[in-house]
Amino acid sequence: GAFNDVLSGNNDFTGTNSGQFSARPGYDMASGLGSPNAGTLIPRLCASALRLIPIPAQRTARRATISPLRVGYGDVPHVGLTLSVRGLPRGLHFDRSRARITGTPRRLGVYHVIISASDKDGARAREKFTWTIGNVTRLLHVSVTGLSARRPTLGFTVTAGRRSPAVRELIIAVPTELRLRSTRSISVGTANRHLRFRAQVSGGRLRLTLRKPQTAVAVVLGPRAVNNGPGGGSHPGQLAVTAVASDSSTSHLYAGINRR
């Protein structure tokens, strides 16, 4: 289909071969083919225009929900494209209709992912990248003091697992025994220094955005940041923290509060 049949004419230019080199369907003696069909040839000659946009190496914590990862491509004339993805970590899935990888990884390891593309004109492309699944992000050392004096102080630590991305944002929801009050008297730090951060209270949640992502961060909310809530009871309940990693994946963390 890339060439038109030559149905007439004769390549006996000298006139000495008694018309032995006449054209016939599907073949022309001079060119070895027929006359070119430009509409079909152009996309075939430009098959290299099909390309996949490289994806850098990925690193995600186990049980974290990844932000949709787009499989980008370029194709001229962009017809009949087929994409496939092999080697994804268990728990992740490729949505062909949206060209997105989504899900929650469930198993540790280093995975070698292969993305393949082809179109109806026969063009092909392939890209590879690695995806490392590290240990889960954890919520530790959760405690509250001062409830009986109505001057509570809530403290906890969030730590990224081995080979997992650092934490850049925390979204904190306290149980009904406590109530978020303001962004004052908040301390965020590591084992040996205080960290710079932005704080915002909205919709009953406190959002802490770290200036630089950290693998471990300790948070203390003082009496001006939280106060006693309407929940009452002898136990302050359960703390819920959403940890947003530097790769934008989210880990939902829960822990009972130790009352001291």
In tens, the pLDDT along 101-156 reads: 999 999 999 999 999 998 887 788 999 999 999 999 999 999 999 988 999 999 99
Residue 169: closest CA among 84, 114, 249: 249
Say what the pLDDT of residue 260 is.
78
For the cut 80, the answer to whether the pLDDT of residue 173 exceeds it is yes
SS3 content of the chain, % helix, strand, coil (to 5): 5, 50, 50
Rounded mean pLDDT, 216-233: 89
Burial of 123 (0-12, 13-18, 19+ CB in 10 A): buried
- Tell me the pLDDT of the chain averaged across its residues: 87
Rounded mean pLDDT, 232-257: 88
